[in-house]
Amino acid sequence: MFTTFLGLGVQGQTNLLFEIGKIPLSIGAGILGGLLVAVVLLKVYKLKPLNTRNTEKLLMLLALAILYFEIGENLGVASLLGVMTIGLVILEKRENSANQFAEKLAKVWVFAQVVLFTLVGAEVDIGVAIEAGLIGATIIAIGLLGRSLGVWIATLGTDLNIKERIFCMIAYMPKATVQAAIGSMPLAAGVEGGGTILAIAVLAILITAPLGAIGIKVGASILLHKDVTGD
């Protein structure tokens, strides 16, 4: 949906209903493409000449995932969902390898997140952020209400009680990584108001991260109760 509306912002006047109607097709194509890439990757992993260490296998996975993302973006499919699908299939079929991949990527992320947030911070216009303060905070509040409603609906029919479901809503409040990763894309794409969008994305991080951290710590002691049975 983000890619679709970003495209609308870049293209200007176009058929809104037609573009929205393409979203389910984009999602389906993205997931199907990810499945195909995962199947090919698993077949390659089984070849004896390529029975290399997990580091080489991980590099192969990253290369194919990046290639699929770039091709998918040009074709207009939800390629990021496809990349997620690749990971899910590998976890299902080769759990040990998937866990080792995750450990290696977690080490890379320690450095990558510093670069990500530094670059985003360098792009932010403080004046625009201040100007969008009240409106931006209102937009963020509306978004959090919608997200909380979504969490409440998603936990319907589960074994969680009401207090635990409220805690889930609090736990989903902090926003940071996704906002940092895509907040600057409208600005880079030349969308009118891209600087304001980036400023609000950063404002979302500044507001929700501390509130969420405090809410999780305080809410855990109030809303959660651990049943201790047996040993």
Q: Using 50, 70 and 90 to split pLDDT, how confident is the model at 119? A: confident
> What does the alpha-carbon distance between residue 155 and residue 225 come to, in Å, rounded to a whole number?
18
> What does the alpha-carbon distance between residue 134 and residue 116 come to, in Å, rounded to a whole number?
26
Per-residue buried b or exposed e for 108-129, using 16+ beta carbons within 10 Å of the residue's own CB = eeeeeeeeebeebeeebeeebb
In this prediction the pTM is 0.65
Average pLDDT of the chain to the nearest whole number: 84
Residue 146's pLDDT is what?
A: 94
Percent of the residues in the chain that have a pLDDT greater than 70, as a whole number: 91
Instruction: Show the tokens assigned to 34.
Output: 């990810």
Which stretch, 84-93, 110-119, 198-207, has highest mean pLDDT? 84-93
Closest listed residue to residue 202, CA positions, set 172, 180, 181: 180
Residue 121's pLDDT is what?
A: 73
Q: Using 50, 70 and 90 to split pLDDT, how confident is the model at 185? A: confident
Find the DSSP H helices in 183-229.
185-189, 194-223
184 and 208 in contact (C-beta within 8 Å)?
Answer: no
pLDDT digits (tens, 9 = 90+) for 81-91: 999 999 999 99
Closest listed residue to residue 184, CA positions, set 102, 128, 144, 108: 128
Q: Using 50, 70 and 90 to split pLDDT, how confident is the model at 48? A: low
Residue 169's pLDDT is what?
A: 94
- 231 pLDDT more than 70: no
- 12 pLDDT more than 70: no
Q: 133 Cβ partners below 8 Å, 6+ apart?
A: 203
Residue 63's pLDDT is what?
A: 92
Closest listed residue to residue 82, CA positions, set 98, 103, 61, 102: 61
> What does the alpha-carbon distance between residue 54 and residue 57 come to, in Å, rounded to a whole number?
5
pLDDT digits (tens, 9 = 90+) for 123-167: 666 777 677 778 888 998 999 999 999 999 999 999 999 999 999
195 and 187 in contact (C-beta within 8 Å)?
Answer: yes
Residue 4's pLDDT is what?
A: 74
Instruction: Show the tokens assigned to 48.
Output: 């004896």
Give the pLDDT mean for 181-200. 81
- 230 pLDDT more than 60: no
> What is the chain's percent helix, strand, coil content, to nearest 5?
80, 0, 20
Residue 214's pLDDT is what?
A: 93
The full set of domain ranges for the chain reads 1-110, 124-225
